[in-house]
Structure 1
Amino acid sequence: MSPAARVAQWIDAVIFDLARQMRWTFLPPLMVYFAAGFSGLTMIVGTFFVKEYLDLSAAFLAGLAFWAGLPWALKMPLGHLVDIMWRWKWLLVYLGAGLIGLSVFIMYLLLTQTDMMTAIMPMGAWYVTSYLLAPTGLVIQDAVADAMSVEAVPRFDETGAPLAPETSRALHTTMQTLGRFALITGTVAVALLNITMFSGIEALDAEGKRAVYASIYLAALAIPLVSVSGVVLAGVQKWRARRGLLGRGLTEAEADALFERSDEKTTPNPWYFIGGAGFVALSLTVGLSDIPFGQEIIFAGSMAIVLLLMRQLVAVLPVAQARTLIGTALIIFIFRAVPRVGDGYTWFAIDSLGFDQQFLSVLSLIASMLTLVGMVILRPLIANHTIVYIIVILTVAGGVLSLPNIGLYYGIQDITAPLTGGIVDARFIAIMDTALESPLGQIAMIPMLAWIARNAPPDLKATFFAVMASFTNLALSASSLFTKYLNQIFVVAREVRDPVSGAVTTPADYSQLGLLILIVSGLTVALPLLAVALVQRTRLRSVD
């Protein structure tokens, strides 16, 4: 085979085959996933809002991220609820959309009606309220989207005949790949909007910047609209498919059986809701009190509850599947629980490297675009290797790609820029690092999600999805805790000025940021590799 033919064959297998497997029924869950990615529209403006209007420390923000991550631990009772109310799951999307819309609208009013809002609560309290409402709405919608992604894969062809198992397996893999694709496409749209809306902001005064920030939050109200539109489209598609089956001679009972199979009737398991109630009670009791180590207590309690609920699901699986599930979950948990540097590096990039709003938006756009490309190109790698292999590759790559950030802190750009005529400066290095690192984060999720879709019991699809999500998302809470601890040990402070007098109330101090980056980079590589080595030596060995 000639080189040209090999290239053509590779393009067909990697790109065109993905398009051939697309189904119109995939579109509704993809719209909900797109809305989840689009929800990042307020991320950059939120960073600058905190920096310019609120005197909040990096440790406090890391702690706030901990609280914002906890709603994701409720995905198991939410997933079980979706399984129970399968025919009415669209109501939950409306609820989630309402919470997201309220979160965005609070920030819009905070910028446009500041006096009215601060007369009710301090600005910081409003920000925290908005910050916590958004993930609550997103987790509700995500639980439904996971269920919709299973429902979107056809079980029968145009004539009503069941699909072959290998065809169904391929479609599930494609659905999960496209789900991640839609999620990242949402972030691409976010980056493009941010670049456009932040254009020329450096020349604006304080009131001009406030108006730009408000317009971004106003645009973010499209987030709940997109997800609700996806649910409406799913209903229309289902109605048209049912009408088509009736037109081919099937009776109403036969057509309904193809959509609502008897083996998908879920028997409610009260333990999922008891665990959810315990989680809420624990969070409220500890969160509203001044108990020392409150976040740690909530994390430990949440972990105990999630493990209890996981046991309920594992009990209905074959032994081999149960062990694979546990081993895979442990490895992914450690992979996601490694600490991050925190907001201190972003502050350093803004203050010391001169990265402004628009350049941060450009970096976000580059990351999103190359993630899309990377997911398509690396799809054969995902399909042909185990989750453990992919985790090891991503861990090593992540460690290598942390080196440019270390170099930027210690001034490598001061060496490379003169040697290259100013080309390889701080921004060039940041762009190259982003280009190489961006595809890695989403890759590990695709094989796990495809495995779940293939192996979940018919009556527990959403619950099974939620099992892995709840456990591995608690890893993000653990990551936030570790990040907070490291930021308390290695204190990083940005310059804060009084908005009235302009006097410096907190001086900038990035002296300990370098050591913080080095420690985080080391732990990011060491912990996942150690977890893989230990788990693969036990009966929980992950082989899928």
Structure 2
Amino acid sequence: MRYLPLLMVYFAFGAQGISSIALSFWIKDHLQMSAAAIAGVTFWANIPWTMKIVFGQLVDGVKILGSQRKAYIYLGAGLQIVATTVLVRIAGGLDWFFGFSAVGRVLDLFPVLTQGQLYLVFMVLTAAGFMIQDVVADTMSTEVVDRVDSDTGVSKSEEEINRELGQVQWLGRLFLMAAVIGTGGVVAGFLAGIFKGQLHIVFTINYALPIISLVGVLFVRLNPVPSSPLNWQVLGGGAALGIFATTTGLLLGSYSQVVVLVVSFVFLVYLIRKVGLGRSIALAAATIFIYRAMPGAGPGVNWWMIDVLKFDEDFFGVLGQITSILGVVGLLVFRKTITERPLRFTLLWLTMVGAVVSLPTIGLYYGVHEMLGVGARTVAFFDTAISAPLGQLSMVPMLVIIARSCPVGQAATQFALMASLMNVALSASDLGAKFLNTIYVVKQQQVDAAGIIVQMADYSQLGHLLIITWAIGLLVPLVAILVLLRNTGPARPGDTSS
């Protein structure tokens, strides 16, 4: 029970998928944005996660109204509440608030911003809110464990403290995955289906997530810890990067994403050099960065599955449920493979298997399933079941290498740096998807408010897009693995050579 309030924060983080399927269908049916534009929004939504190390510094060293932990949860939850209000409003809800409340009329941004711009606001604020709470939850997980026995007043042994710290980490991941499995998948698909045409009702459920976090943090008991000195290079550089990204996005338009991506990457590489990562970690980080930066096909694949294959909300819910459950199974089944074998072997294996399990989607587009007399849903079901266990594996080798190799006292900094760098990789992936979608244009049918078709669906170039992304996702990581990891073995503790 001592840990339950903290675990509520982890649960709220994992439950964010409850409206994910409704959001996908709403974007397709109502937002009327191109696949390239949606990939661009996803790029900006990843930017707050690259600032994770900056907020780590703030949480450790800066108090807000005398609070060093809880105030940041309040801040993150507040951003989520604002983000949810934006989404519910543009989806057609909250008329009672915006129509009859003086405050609501002032806050109603409809006359100023387009739906696409408001969707971007929602995505960025949501990402920022979850990122801040994620940083604080991980920090509090080391502070809920008592160092002194409350009954006897005797200090606990180091072994006992480490055991309890490990238990908190395990429970945190358990609650997070329980929320993912319990609220995503079938539940998300059911809600999207039953409230079809009134999806703002599903989005309203998102208000429960920050409330769960707030209730949890009100009751959490933490051991007092001293504030850490600020690293002004990290804090100042991160703040400057945030201001630069915002300004660039407003002023440079279509070129801003490339500029922000390059500057973010250079900034993080500079920080990595400053903390003195060893050669093995640097090479591993570079390889995994390339692996995770490979572009996807974008939202056009889902549009095609909905329009052509007639996949509905319930079936997407089933696929999501399979992904969440088998993702956990994959971590358990392949634990030894990804923690004990060399990184070169693990990434080669993930790359090759990932390429193989991507082939069925290409086959579906070209009608191979019809030649074989197999239903499209059957192919999608088994393809998801096979590929789902791979989804959570790519970052684990990086975390293991850091844990084994980093000097004592630098683990938190190096973990945060790697998390930020890998989120830049995801931004690069989104930017790549946007670029490819401007070459291979995928169009969904668009209907105006009067029900008149203003754009016909066109999926004729989707096959080329799928093949190109498949080839890039196979060949580029293979070259990176064979070149960058050709002379590397498992990282050894204390390896800080450069």
Provide TM-score, normalisation by structure 1: 0.79
CA 107–285 in structure 1, closer or farther in 2 if over 3 Å, else same: closer
Counterpart among 112, 134, 147 of residue 93 in structure 2: 112
Correspondence 1:253-402 to 2 at 5 A: 260=225, 266-290=228-252, 293-314=255-276, 322-402=278-358
Q: CA deviation at 1:357?
A: 1.5
3-state SS of paired residue (1:505) = strand
Matching of residue 143 in structure 1 with residue 135 in structure 2: yes
Q: Who is 2:220 aligned against?
A: 234
Amino acid of the residue matched to residue 186 of structure 1?
A: A
Q: CA deviation at 1:459?
A: 5.6
CA 61–292 in structure 1, closer or farther in 2 if over 3 Å, else same: closer
Whether the 8 Å CA contact 2:192–2:313 is kept in 1: the answer is: yes
The CA distance in 1 between the partners of 2:62 and 2:130, in whole Å, is 19
Counterpart among 185, 194, 204 of residue 218 in structure 1: 204
Q: How many residues align?
A: 474
Q: Who is 2:105 aligned against?
A: none
CA 349–301 in structure 1, closer or farther in 2 if over 3 Å, else same: same
The CA distance in 1 between the partners of 2:168 and 2:338, in whole Å, is 14
Counterpart among 159, 180, 193 of residue 187 in structure 2: 193
Whether the 8 Å CA contact 1:143–1:462 is kept in 2: the answer is: no
* Uncovered stretches (5+) of structure 2, i.e. residues with no partner: 100-107, 494-498
Q: CA deviation at 1:539?
A: 7.0
Q: Which moved more, 1:180-189 or 1:534-543?
A: 534-543
CA 153–95 in structure 1, closer or farther in 2 if over 3 Å, else same: same
3-state SS of paired residue (2:78) = helix
Q: Who is 2:458 aligned against?
A: 509
Q: CA deviation at 1:33?
A: 3.2
CA 157–528 in structure 1, closer or farther in 2 if over 3 Å, else same: farther
Matching of residue 162 in structure 1 with residue 157 in structure 2: yes
Alpha-carbon RMSD:
3.0
The CA distance in 2 between the partners of 1:179 and 1:353, in whole Å, is 38
Q: CA deviation at 1:393?
A: 2.3
CA 402–323 in structure 1, closer or farther in 2 if over 3 Å, else same: same
The CA distance in 1 between the partners of 2:193 and 2:227, in whole Å, is 53
Q: CA deviation at 1:275?
A: 0.9
Correspondence 1:87-126 to 2 at 5 A: 88-110=68-90, 111-113=92-94, 117=108, 118-119=110-111, 121-126=113-118
CA 76–178 in structure 1, closer or farther in 2 if over 3 Å, else same: same
Whether the 8 Å CA contact 2:272–2:417 is kept in 1: the answer is: yes
CA 152–326 in structure 1, closer or farther in 2 if over 3 Å, else same: farther
The CA distance in 1 between the partners of 2:485 and 2:403, in whole Å, is 23
Counterpart among 483, 491, 494 of residue 534 in structure 1: 483
Counterpart among 123, 137, 153 of residue 131 in structure 1: 123
The CA distance in 1 between the partners of 2:134 and 2:165, in whole Å, is 17
- Give per-residue Cα distances to partners, 1:29-62, cap 9 Å, x unaligned: 5433332221122322222222222221001111
Whether the 8 Å CA contact 1:399–1:521 is kept in 2: the answer is: yes
- Give per-residue Cα distances to partners, 1:169-190, cap 9 Å, x unaligned: x877776665554433322212
3-state SS of paired residue (1:340) = coil
Amino acid of the residue matched to residue 268 of structure 2?
A: V
Amino acid of the residue matched to residue 53 of structure 1?
A: H
The CA distance in 2 between the partners of 1:160 and 1:469, in whole Å, is 34
3-state SS of paired residue (2:278) = helix
Matching of residue 484 in structure 1 with residue 455 in structure 2: no
Q: CA deviation at 1:456?
A: 6.0
3-state SS of paired residue (2:454) = strand
Amino acid of the residue matched to residue 235 of structure 2?
A: F
Counterpart among 508, 519, 524 of residue 468 in structure 2: 519
Identity %: 35
Q: CA deviation at 1:532?
A: 1.9
Q: CA deviation at 1:479?
A: 0.4
Amino acid of the residue matched to residue 428 of structure 1?
A: T
The CA distance in 2 between the partners of 1:146 and 1:133, in whole Å, is 20
3-state SS of paired residue (1:443) = coil
* Uncovered stretches (5+) of structure 1, i.e. residues with no partner: 1-23, 202-208, 240-258, 315-320, 418-423
Whether the 8 Å CA contact 1:184–1:371 is kept in 2: the answer is: no
Matching of residue 434 in structure 1 with residue 390 in structure 2: no
The CA distance in 1 between the partners of 2:387 and 2:425, in whole Å, is 21
Q: CA deviation at 1:64?
A: 0.9
Q: Who is 1:465 aligned against?
A: 415
CA 35–200 in structure 1, closer or farther in 2 if over 3 Å, else same: closer
The CA distance in 1 between the partners of 2:203 and 2:458, in whole Å, is 31
The CA distance in 1 between the partners of 2:187 and 2:492, in whole Å, is 42
Provide TM-score, normalisation by structure 2: 0.86
The CA distance in 2 between the partners of 1:194 and 1:94, in whole Å, is 26
Q: Who is 1:13 aligned against?
A: none
The CA distance in 2 between the partners of 1:283 and 1:322, in whole Å, is 29
